[in-house]
Structure 1
């Protein structure tokens, strides 16, 4: 065994936790593991298709370690050039940003490959191995945004003579540097470093305690009558023995993929209440004190206020807006309020109608929150004949996929062609090239791994679909975009094709919308190509846009037919799909608005979190707040994930996507030529420009104006669609 060593000079990023004072100087960087001279050496070319099926665990670790060191060495060379200003030419891109792109590309591509492997083959890429690689790659990949020399060079760059795309690249480095504290003096840098370390510590505590309280709740069902109407996939997930899932016993847990469906199908009201209250009381002060998160909520809020103050912002939410299309908190709250007025008014009637519906069917008492999912499902089935199990017989996966490709061909003038000679990591995996209709060479490619594999695929229960970036487009490196699409659909068996639920079809269209934005970009630089550098509240626009086609009757007819008889989807089922977004739309929208408003208020106000809940709740819900409801104590998206002061982004993207789709409606969804024209415009804006242009400008180029919430309200049936209705801008 030998140990290789690489001598490089670098500065550690200021946020790194150090037990000794960090000083500039020469240090020796060693690989994470010793390398066997007899072991095969891993080679990697980011331009070639990755041979994921041939990788071993040891090769993965070695590869990421080597590419991280290569990147850090390249970064040091750029840094040294920035220090010697006399060596710098007036062209910042030639001397700094393009060399950075060239040393970043291999590591970025390898990282996408590792993530794909982790999600598709847990035998090779265990969680421990993945986390080791993840942390090593993350540290390396983010160093370019923590480098003072590169930051200083970008700040000095005169933007007036640059192209729009180059301005966005430079602005990205400047903004990232500012938010990372590179403008602070040494004292405040140390303070910020300490604050960020404490934030990560508190987020870890919050995450761990919510996981404990989520995992601890279990309730066993023995009576098969309770499970009578449960769908097969849910019954299997709950069964003690999956091979005999119809015999029981079955276990209820608070895992999202079980909890949400259970609340829809459980016929016993007391049992629904028991599970609901366990869900909303996770990590609350009413439970075990060792797993309460209230103190972590307040500590995180305090630390984030301190972080924002050090960086010169009024609040953490105001700081967050620097990376958002909305621009400022006032714009967001204004849009939320306009939507709230419509949604709350509709919610009152919807709940009254649902109460009457339930009473006619024997329900006694007043509907509560834990009753709504169950009776909503009943109402949907009774009024619109919606039956998920019957519906999926009309959505065989091969037909849905082919028609999705046909829709993209018509809208965006592309051909999607399967290539069967490419190496893949499992026989189920398919590989596709994308061509412009008049081109012979592919402009992009993607892998499709559609089916569940027990014991292999990771993290697919709570996130049933993924779009993984394997390689960004880069004209500097001559890289074409490459992606992986992962799903967890039920595989074909015993002559039965893969049949998709309507939720599966939505997931497919949504993730393919993400993929199109990555694959059809025409940007020059990887830092702003595809979905890179898109403001958070605009990043889901294309994914949401694609799902709107599933509520257009002709589109659904084209992608559906019975898997045995090939008969078309019955009109009553087609009608149920068209009504699906509108049932309890005001009620559902109010919940999105409430959580968005709660997040912003928590990150602008110093009031105790429970007081904020009590203030906001009656503004959004017609149901009283249960005295033991502590839902913020498990609000992981904002307290342990990355959505603090950004939860509204999901709704903002829905507003924009509905407005984008309304352009197709105005052109006439049956007008083939006009649809192609609007599709061409969408491709040249949203799909082509990616993060190389601010999303507000991208939208204006597509729509000719700023976005409006009207289209979303119309699509949900919360506002009448009339000609001549004045546009209400969200900006």
Structure 2
């Protein structure tokens, strides 16, 4: 699935070694190909300021985006002509660019929404065509030398800038540098050649991994082996699309492979799937699918790209767009987390070995055994049944309680508006009101239910937030977004019931959307989620997920769909236990992949030698000599997370520290509502208009610490304070 936007998009307090010293700001880079254009006149906006969904067609979207893209590029050229002589860049350059963004952004947002909410109206091929055309148009302002130079001149001229003005200038300047606008002559030609070759290599890597993933197939005919499978898994694997009727096909597609490894009782079958998974593209099987050479080429090209742009390594270049600021800061945090996680992994694996031995395993645990026995142990210890818990989370109750929580904490009101055009009858529209305003400050669509063949489905990711329109003072537009999920639809008059995991996803996506909806920035280019550093982009979503573990909140959002009884206290406690089950092992896996990514893009050591060196530090089980997992690690090689995989873990660390302020308020003298107001005034209000490290300091009064994350995971604090 194509990414929507290539966003570019701390920690020192009484520690022996400072974790964090930040000196940089950030932006994002957009480089995309051209498509054909259709200049017909078209608009997708109704008189009420909301998109026209009833009569939207692919043709309308393509015609609108083509016309708007050409107008956008023409507008950028007009701005360029006045750039050299401008007296005030904010008035003469950035405000006109904001106006150009407005229509293009809306059409693009509507297209993204339809792609995820009703793919029969917006098939993948059509969406990608529109996405690429819009991307290309929008990139024109970041590849403009006159606009880049005007931003540099304005920054040198003005000394008394607001945070938002500073961030806006810094964004245009950094985008220009990362696009090589200050690179001249032969180096410029070489940079263009490197980027072109790099894109080809990334595409080839992705294609080979996809082919290798689809090539593996294994058949199961024994009904006994699928007896414990969830019905959804057995149905997905059945060649007859019937859970009770085989044969069943094992594949490496994530929605099959991951649950299969957890539920298959046959050790040989698990081994077969595992070795197929970790040996993809290794060359041990089909030599034509080998990606080792491509991986090394990509590493070399990215290093050359960084060198031409003036950075020591590709990681150093990546850090320009990250909250962490430097590879040293990231390594310090990762190492500190490992100090707690690695010893706990030893204890957890010993306990899992004993558990498996007591239940018939007479051999040492291997890699292909862990998911199966981990699930069995979790069920045995906590009697955790996701389907039973589902009965306590009817969707209407969860949504109402979520809205009430946000109303209390952030002093807003969320009110449903009827008679709004949507892409499906199940979709609702909500206005967001501030306590001090009688008119809405933002709005969002809510599309909760799965619709077979109509919605994009990605395993383990049941929800999406789409920014349809940013807040912009120049055009007087308010934020608009869409929240799209794949929850079970009501059946036979029975309410939609959520698993606890789905409740968590709902809270996470809504928390993410609040940063977009409640922004107070004036320039859309730095409002809400725009311009937020990659390793801080997921923070607000993760903060919201912590509330589902809060005892007061979970009693508010839960109520049996028949009796309305709240979730029993023993189950509430078990949710915490399940969260912490084998957390040392799980954290070590994330730390290993995060560090491997950084080492791949900051050293020249051959990938297999790197893996062999690093493996024992992060893993109890020995390294299997045929394991070639980096050769199919598309996220960091062919996708956009090279030298950035750590961002997911960093966001979780920041979010845990933020939420700990609410915990401390409840246990101490501070009013928890005051913390909520402070959180809204910092993280939710500023978005990308202030550097996240500074936003954190304003909220917490200090730099971040990993302590809260360790506490949530039930891991010991091994950081020695002075």
Same fold (TM over 0.5): yes
Say if 2:410 is the partner of 1:412.
yes
Distance 1:31 1:597 in 2: 42
Deviation at 1:547, TM superposition (A): 1.0
CA deviations 1:163-193 (Å, max 9, x no partner) are 1110100000000000100001132111111
Deviation at 1:635, TM superposition (A): 0.5
Task: Tell me if the contact between 1:521 and 1:688 (Cα under 8 Å) persists in the aligned partners.
Answer: yes
2:447 aligned counterpart, secondary structure:
strand
After superposition, the Cα gap between the structure-2 partners of 1:553 and 1:619, relative to the gap in structure 1 and judged at 3 Å, is: same
After superposition, the Cα gap between the structure-2 partners of 1:359 and 1:17, relative to the gap in structure 1 and judged at 3 Å, is: closer
Deviation at 1:483, TM superposition (A): 0.5
Distance 1:568 1:418 in 2: 26
Deviation at 1:565, TM superposition (A): 2.4
User: What does residue 24 of structure 2 align with?
Assistant: none
Task: Tell me if the contact between 1:520 and 1:687 (Cα under 8 Å) persists in the aligned partners.
Answer: yes
Task: Tell me if the contact between 2:33 and 2:133 (Cα under 8 Å) persists in the aligned partners.
Answer: no
After superposition, the Cα gap between the structure-2 partners of 1:616 and 1:480, relative to the gap in structure 1 and judged at 3 Å, is: same
Distance 1:223 1:492 in 2: 34
Task: Tell me if the contact between 1:384 and 1:572 (Cα under 8 Å) persists in the aligned partners.
Answer: no
Say if 2:673 is the partner of 1:676.
yes
1:307 aligned counterpart, secondary structure:
helix
Deviation at 1:45, TM superposition (A): 6.7
User: What does residue 56 of structure 1 align with?
Assistant: 57
Distance 2:329 2:194 in 1: 29
Distance 1:118 1:471 in 2: 16
Say if 2:95 is the partner of 1:94.
no
After superposition, the Cα gap between the structure-2 partners of 1:44 and 1:565, relative to the gap in structure 1 and judged at 3 Å, is: closer
The aligned runs of 1:281-296 (5 Å cut-off) are 281-296=279-294
Say if 2:193 is the partner of 1:188.
no
Distance 1:109 1:492 in 2: 32
User: What does residue 433 of structure 2 align with?
Assistant: 435
User: What does residue 23 of structure 2 align with?
Assistant: none
User: What does residue 532 of structure 1 align with?
Assistant: 530
Distance 2:193 2:661 in 1: 49
If the length of structure 2 is used for normalisation, what is the TM-score?
0.93
If the length of structure 1 is used for normalisation, what is the TM-score?
0.91
CA deviations 1:101-123 (Å, max 9, x no partner) are 10111101211111111122222
Deviation at 1:47, TM superposition (A): 7.8
Task: Tell me if the contact between 1:460 and 1:488 (Cα under 8 Å) persists in the aligned partners.
Answer: no
Task: Tell me if the contact between 2:39 and 2:63 (Cα under 8 Å) persists in the aligned partners.
Answer: no
Q: 2:384 aligns with which of 383, 386, 392?
A: 386
Distance 2:524 2:38 in 1: 31
Distance 1:530 1:354 in 2: 44
Distance 2:30 2:690 in 1: 30
User: What does residue 23 of structure 1 align with?
Assistant: none
Say if 2:137 is the partner of 1:137.
no
Distance 2:703 2:420 in 1: 44
User: What does residue 9 of structure 2 align with?
Assistant: none
Gaps of 5+ in 2: 1-28
Task: Tell me if the contact between 2:44 and 2:51 (Cα under 8 Å) persists in the aligned partners.
Answer: no
The aligned runs of 1:300-315 (5 Å cut-off) are 300-315=298-313
User: What does residue 82 of structure 1 align with?
Assistant: 83
Q: 1:627 aligns with which of 608, 625, 628?
A: 625
Cα RMSD for the two superposed structures: 2.1
1:166 aligned counterpart, secondary structure:
helix
User: What does residue 229 of structure 1 align with?
Assistant: 228
Task: Tell me if the contact between 2:408 and 2:673 (Cα under 8 Å) persists in the aligned partners.
Answer: yes
After superposition, the Cα gap between the structure-2 partners of 1:14 and 1:65, relative to the gap in structure 1 and judged at 3 Å, is: closer
Q: 2:37 aligns with which of 15, 32, 54?
A: 32
Q: List structure 1 segments (4+ residues) > 6 angstroms apart after TM superposition.
A: 13-18, 725-728
CA deviations 1:408-442 (Å, max 9, x no partner) are 11211111111121111101111111111342211
Distance 2:527 2:259 in 1: 38
Distance 2:692 2:39 in 1: 47
After superposition, the Cα gap between the structure-2 partners of 1:167 and 1:14, relative to the gap in structure 1 and judged at 3 Å, is: closer
Deviation at 1:14, TM superposition (A): 12
**Please, which moves more after superposition, 449-458 or 550-559?**
550-559
After superposition, the Cα gap between the structure-2 partners of 1:580 and 1:43, relative to the gap in structure 1 and judged at 3 Å, is: closer
Deviation at 1:284, TM superposition (A): 1.1
User: What does residue 22 of structure 1 align with?
Assistant: none
Task: Tell me if the contact between 1:14 and 1:193 (Cα under 8 Å) persists in the aligned partners.
Answer: no
Q: 1:685 aligns with which of 682, 685, 688?
A: 682
Distance 2:251 2:392 in 1: 31
2:497 aligned counterpart, secondary structure:
coil
User: What does residue 424 of structure 1 align with?
Assistant: 422
Distance 1:636 1:389 in 2: 33
**Please, which moves more after superposition, 359-368 or 177-186?**
359-368
CA deviations 1:589-641 (Å, max 9, x no partner) are 00110001000000010010000010111110011111110000111111011
User: What does residue 324 of structure 1 align with?
Assistant: 322
User: What does residue 337 of structure 1 align with?
Assistant: 335
1:628 aligned counterpart, secondary structure:
coil
Task: Tell me if the contact between 1:15 and 1:193 (Cα under 8 Å) persists in the aligned partners.
Answer: no
Deviation at 1:580, TM superposition (A): 1.8
Aligned residues: 692
User: What does residue 6 of structure 1 align with?
Assistant: none
Distance 1:419 1:290 in 2: 56
Q: 1:464 aligns with which of 437, 451, 462?
A: 462
Distance 2:264 2:547 in 1: 31
User: What does residue 703 of structure 1 align with?
Assistant: 700
Q: 1:119 aligns with which of 116, 121, 125?
A: 116
User: What does residue 27 of structure 1 align with?
Assistant: none
User: What does residue 717 of structure 1 align with?
Assistant: 714
User: What does residue 490 of structure 1 align with?
Assistant: 488
Distance 1:240 1:655 in 2: 43
Task: Tell me if the contact between 1:219 and 1:253 (Cα under 8 Å) persists in the aligned partners.
Answer: yes
Distance 1:691 1:149 in 2: 24
CA deviations 1:513-547 (Å, max 9, x no partner) are 11011111110000100011111111111111111
User: What does residue 161 of structure 1 align with?
Assistant: 160
Say if 2:211 is the partner of 1:206.
no
Deviation at 1:720, TM superposition (A): 5.7
Deviation at 1:73, TM superposition (A): 1.3
Which structure carries more relative contact order (alpha carbon 8 Å, separation 6+)?
Answer: 2
Deviation at 1:394, TM superposition (A): 1.3
2:429 aligned counterpart, secondary structure:
strand
Task: Tell me if the contact between 1:45 and 1:106 (Cα under 8 Å) persists in the aligned partners.
Answer: no
CA deviations 1:642-697 (Å, max 9, x no partner) are 000011111111111110011011111799x8221111110000000000000010
Deviation at 1:224, TM superposition (A): 2.7
Task: Tell me if the contact between 1:15 and 1:196 (Cα under 8 Å) persists in the aligned partners.
Answer: no
Deviation at 1:578, TM superposition (A): 1.3
Deviation at 1:229, TM superposition (A): 2.1
After superposition, the Cα gap between the structure-2 partners of 1:34 and 1:407, relative to the gap in structure 1 and judged at 3 Å, is: closer
**Please, which moves more after superposition, 564-573 or 306-315?**
564-573
Gaps of 5+ in 1: 1-12, 19-29
Task: Tell me if the contact between 1:231 and 1:389 (Cα under 8 Å) persists in the aligned partners.
Answer: no
Q: 1:513 aligns with which of 511, 514, 535?
A: 511
Task: Tell me if the contact between 1:146 and 1:177 (Cα under 8 Å) persists in the aligned partners.
Answer: yes
Task: Tell me if the contact between 1:46 and 1:106 (Cα under 8 Å) persists in the aligned partners.
Answer: no
Deviation at 1:462, TM superposition (A): 5.5
Distance 1:98 1:727 in 2: 49
Distance 1:467 1:252 in 2: 32
Task: Tell me if the contact between 2:46 and 2:52 (Cα under 8 Å) persists in the aligned partners.
Answer: no
Distance 2:235 2:474 in 1: 50
Task: Tell me if the contact between 1:385 and 1:572 (Cα under 8 Å) persists in the aligned partners.
Answer: no
After superposition, the Cα gap between the structure-2 partners of 1:16 and 1:138, relative to the gap in structure 1 and judged at 3 Å, is: closer
User: What does residue 147 of structure 2 align with?
Assistant: 150
The aligned runs of 1:448-459 (5 Å cut-off) are 448-459=446-457
CA deviations 1:328-350 (Å, max 9, x no partner) are 11111111111111110110001
After superposition, the Cα gap between the structure-2 partners of 1:219 and 1:137, relative to the gap in structure 1 and judged at 3 Å, is: same
**Please, which moves more after superposition, 435-444 or 471-480?**
435-444
User: What does residue 24 of structure 1 align with?
Assistant: none
